[in-house]
Amino acid sequence: MVSGEEVSSLAVNTQPAQAAADERIREVGVLSRLMARPELGALVAVVVVWLFFAVVAADNNFISWATTAAILNRAAPLGILAIAVALLMIAGEFDLSIGSLVGFGGMAIMMLVTPVEAGGFGWAILPAIGVALLITLATGFFNGVLVVTTKLPSFIITLGSLFIFRGLAVAVPRSATNRTQLGGLDEVSGYGPMDAILGTKLELFGARFDVAIVWWIGLTIIATWVLMRTRVGNWIFGVGGDNVAARNVGVPVNRLKIALFMTTAFAAFLSALIQAFQFNGADSLRGSLKEFEAIIAVVIGGTLLTGGYGSVIGALLGTLIFAMVQQGIIITGVDGDWFKVFVGGILVAAVIFNNFVRQQATKR
Amino acid sequence: MSEPILEVQNISKFFGSVIALKDVSMFVRAGEVTCLLGDNGAGKSTLIKVLSGVHKPDEGVYRYQGSEVSFSSPRDALDLGIATVYQDLAMIPLMSIWRNFFLGSEPTVGWGPFRRFDVDFAKRTTREELGKMGIDIRDPDQPVGTLSGGERQSVAIARAVYFGAKVLILDEPTAALGVKQAGVVLRYIVQAKQRGIGVIFITHNPHHAYPVGDHFVILRRGQIYGDFTKDEIPLEQLVQMMAGGADLEVLSHELEKAAEGGGPGADELEKVAEGFEAEARGEAD
Ligand SMILES: Nc1ncnc2c1ncn2[C@@H]1O[C@H](COP(=O)(O)OP(=O)(O)OP(=O)(O)O)[C@@H](O)[C@H]1O
Ligand SMILES: [Mg+2]
């Protein structure tokens, strides 16, 4: 046992050596260290699912750039949602309204750019995006304020929001324009440059990759950095681990939660925006069930439903699994109905596996 | 005598129909230790939660460094240099030691959008500060939930000492500690006092309170029962007051009766009874 004075006088760079010499530590292998990472289970699952389809769908060109592009294109809009949902879930809250906000945000943009004759506002594209973004962020603010002031479970509050915002996304355009699908985005002034950053496809290896993939991966990197290396990241873990304790040591719990609900609203908006460019318009029903798919992706990625533990990389891997299974089932020609069975099975397996891993990791 | 650095007057706190505190007044001066003593449920933790900004008092005045304050969260108190070790420690079990140590007060490096948590500094400081307490942590990345109870308490104390620039509030900090670490905590309290910090120290152990305390506030059922300086009250009397001398006498009689019945362990019972009797008389051990 080294006494306190000795420890404090030790130079910084000698400390790892001193730690290694501690007789109470035994060498743990690389595997055990990996086991302590939340995304390990998802990483294993990505490999397993990929190998599975690589064998089963070998005749259907599963291992090809075209299929890879199709998987990633499918994953990106969901992946963007899953990033924000992961941050919120690590902080111990749910947002069930995120899917509705995809429909809501898309319709907000399209309502603003639709010509006045057709019942819209006839705005140019940039101001429309700006204002629609503000409106969607306000919905996140609304969710957040309601959760922190009522102290009710966010599951219930946002379940209400799920219906409110889906309802608005259908009712408002229908009463103004008589339609629940609005198209013609490419005719709006200012379309070109925005399409270049949101809607284009990149030709690589003879396949077409959506630019959305760049957004997805870029935001994953940023969110991972925020989570692991900033004050806010530390607060997110703290608040999810123990709300009261975090407040007692000075974390601005309420402001953080409101900001995170606004982050999920932002993710919903970005996903809606990208899809508006991909589909040249919006649909009131876009994003239906995405709230559950995002939660599933995040949980497969190793994030605890109860908060306090998880990773954004895991959410990316979980989304990837989701998209691989979906694409794999399509190209093998298996009836699409089986997709749900498969996804449900993976979800349960992931939760069991993650639970096991976490127990191992904290047992030591 | 100097002015108190922290002072509350006629503070009351209600939880629905529960009156947790009624008309409580107390103070601590810079460079002094105020010991807060009292039975389980007397309201000690509630009082320090008012002081640390967790609860807003329903009645009364809170003065800090001469001016009236009203904290809306513990952040406000921390910003004024008031740090607290809560009875439940306020630790996040799934988070690593270094993340817990700096939670809510993270040091940063970098500028603007690149401002980030100074992880190296945090890990190094955590190791150093715990080292000073005689806790030699194996690995700062270890989740706090896997630490022993005493180790966890030591982390909470080291954290408060590190951040408590002006006032340090300790709610039963020695409860789970070994003799050596309890000694370290008492030494910390003395050091803090010498640095001019005001310390509020809650404990059930009069032998921990008496050597370091300058005055002793006794709470009973949510109200102030007494406030004594060290000159006014000898240790024996403090012990008796805290133990509720009469209760201990009754207990020792019961034990004696059991011992008279004979049987295995009678001798030990007798000894225990004698011990209680001595304590009830207020003898220090
Ligand atoms: N949030 C709350 N809601 C309702 N009652 C409370 C609350 N907090 C404390 N109380 C009550 O106030 C009283 C004082 O509690 P407190 O925790 O301050 O006691 P204490 O003196 O710290 O006791 P101990 O020595 O056991 O720690 C108790 O009767 C408790 O039940
Ligand atoms: Mg208490």
Q: Percentage of residues in chain A with pLDDT exceeding 90? A: 55
Judged against a pLDDT cut of 90, whether residue B205 lies above it is answered with no
Among B11-25, B89-103, B171-185, the minimum mean pLDDT is found in B171-185
> Is the pLDDT higher at A330 or at B79?
B79
Q: Is B44 in the pocket of ligand 1 (CB under 6 A)?
A: yes
A23: confidence class by pLDDT, cuts 50, 70, 90: low
What is the predicted pLDDT for the residue at A167? 95
SS3 content of chain A, % helix, strand, coil (to 5): 75, 5, 25
Place of tokens 């004698």: B274
Q: What are the structural domains of chain B?
A: 6-91+147-233 (3.40.50.300), 245-285 (no CATH)
Q: How confident is the model at residue A74 (pLDDT cuts 50, 70, 90)?
A: very high
pLDDT at B37 over 80: yes
In chain A, DSSP assigns E strands to: 181-183, 201-204, 207-210, 281-283
State how far Cα A133 lies from the chain centre: 18
Q: What is the mean pLDDT of chain A?
A: 86
Lowest-confidence range among A37-51, A123-137, A327-341, B243-257?
B243-257
Q: Structure pTM? A: 0.87
What is the least distance, in Å, from the CA of A233 to any CA of chain B? 9
| Chain CA centroid to CA A18, Å | 41
Q: What is the mean pLDDT of residues A113-127?
A: 88
The stretch A239-246 carries a mean pLDDT of: 94
Please tell me which of the candidates A4, A231, A241 has its beta carbon nearest to residue B92.
A241
Give the residue from B204, B98, B50, B229 showing the smallest Cα distance to A237. B98
> What are the pLDDT digits (tens) for A160-184?
999 999 999 999 999 988 888 888 8
More confident residue, A127 or A27: A127
Q: How far apart are CA B218 and CA B198, in angstroms?
A: 18
Q: Is ligand 1 within 6 A of the CB of residue B48? A: no
Nearest atom in ligand 1 to B49's CA:
18
Residue nearest to atom 19 of ligand 1 (CA): B41
Asked if the Cβ–Cβ distance from A231 to B88 is below 8 Å, we say: no
Tell me which of B84, B89, B94 to substitute to probe the interface with A (most A C-beta atoms closer than 10 Å).
Answer: B94
Query: What's residue B261's pLDDT?
Result: 65
Q: A8 CB near a chain B CB, below 8 Å?
A: yes
Pair of tokens at residue B185: 């905590």
The residue whose CB lies within 8 Å of the most ligand 1 atoms, and thus the one to mutate among B44, B85, B204, is B44
CA dist B45 and A326 (Å) reads 55
pLDDT digits 0-9 by tens, B187-198: 888 888 888 999
Residue with the smallest CA separation from ligand 1 atom 6 is: B15
Q: By alpha-carbon position, which residue is closest to atom 1 of ligand 1?
A: B15
Q: Which helix (H) or strand (E) holds B27?
A: strand B18-29
Distance CA A89, CA A306 (A): 8
A237 chain-B contacts, CB cut-off 8 A: 92, 94-95, 99
Residues A91 and A242: their CA atoms lie apart, in Å, by 9
Asked if the C-beta of A229 comes within 8 angstroms of chain B's C-beta atoms, the answer is yes
The better pLDDT of the pair A228, A206 is held by A228
Q: Is the pLDDT higher at A137 or at B267? A: A137
* Cα B89 to ligand 2 centre (Å): 11
- Evaluate whether ipTM surpasses 0.90: no
Percent of chain B with pLDDT over 90: 47
Does A5 have pLDDT greater than 90?
A: no
What was the pLDDT predicted at B121? 95
Q: CA of A321, closest CA in chain B: separation in Å?
A: 27
3-state SS class at A364: coil
Check CB contact of A9 with chain B, cutoff 8 Å.
Answer: no
Residue A106 has pLDDT above 50, yes or no: yes
How far is C-alpha A244 from the geometric centre of its chain's CA atoms?
A: 26
A94 and A158 Cβ atoms separated by less than 8 Å: yes
Q: How far is B133 from chain A (nearest CA, A)?
A: 6
User: Where does residue B25 rank: exposed (0-12), middle (13-18), buried (19+ CB within 10 A)?
Assistant: middle
A118 touches chain B (CB under 8 A): no
**What distance in Å separates the CA atoms of residue B10 and residue B66, rounded to the nearest whole number?**
16
Nearest CB to B146: which of A7, A15, A364? A364
Atom of ligand 1 nearest to the CA of B42: 21
- Give pLDDT tens digits for B88-147: 888 999 899 999 999 999 999 988 888 999 999 999 999 999 888 777 877 888 889 888
pLDDT at A2 over 60: no
- From the CA of B51, how far away is ligand 2's center (Å)? 14
The string of pLDDT tens digits covering residues A181-206 is 888 888 888 888 888 889 888 888 88
User: What distance in Å separates the CA atoms of residue A203 and residue A201, rounded to the nearest whole number?
Assistant: 6
Residue range A136-143: mean pLDDT, rounded:
96
Band of residue B234 on the pLDDT scale cut at 50, 70, 90: confident
Report how far residue A325's alpha carbon sits from residue A339's, in angstroms, rounded to the nearest whole number: 7
Q: What does the pLDDT average to over B158-187?
A: 87
Average of pLDDT values for A297-312?
90
Per the DSSP assignment, residues forming a β-bridge with B229 are B215
Q: Which pLDDT value is given to residue A22?
A: 58
For residue B273, pLDDT beyond 80? no
Is residue B264 pLDDT above 70, yes or no?
no
Atom index in ligand 1 nearest the CA of residue B204 equals 25
Q: Would you place residue A337 in the very low, low, confident or very high pLDDT band (cuts 50, 70, 90)? A: confident
Look at B92 and A2 and tell me if their CB atoms are within 8 Å: no
CATH class label, A40-354: mainly alpha
Rg (CA), chain A: 23
Which of B52, B54, B116 comes nearest A230 by C-beta?
A: B116
DSSP E strands in A298-353: the ranges are: none
| pLDDT surpassing 90 at residue B266 | no
Between residues A158 and A326, the one the model is more confident about: A158
Compute the distance from residue A234 Cα to the ligand 2 centre, in Å: 28
Backbone phi and psi for residue B12, each to the nearest 5 degrees, phi listed first:
-125, 145
CA distance A98 to A83: 12
Residues of A with Cβ-Cβ distance to B94 under 8 angstroms: 237, 241, 308-309, 362
Record: contact A4-B132, CB cut-off 8 A:
yes
B102–A234: do the CB atoms touch at under 8 Å? yes
Kindly indicate the confidence band of residue A240, based on its pLDDT and cuts at 50, 70 and 90.
very high
Ligand 1 neighbourhood includes B218 CB (under 6 angstroms): no
Contacts A–B by Cβ distance under 8 A: 115
Q: Is the CB of B43 under 6 A from ligand 1?
A: yes
CB B96 within 8 A of CB B142: yes
B18 lines ligand 1 (CB under 6 A): yes
Pick the residue whose CA is nearest to atom 12 on ligand 1.
Answer: B20
For residue B246, pLDDT over 80 is answered with: no
- The whole-number average pLDDT for the span A303-314 is 91
pLDDT for the residue numbered A364: 46
pLDDT at A9 over 50: no
Q: What is the pLDDT of residues A310-321, one digit of tens each?
A: 999 999 999 999
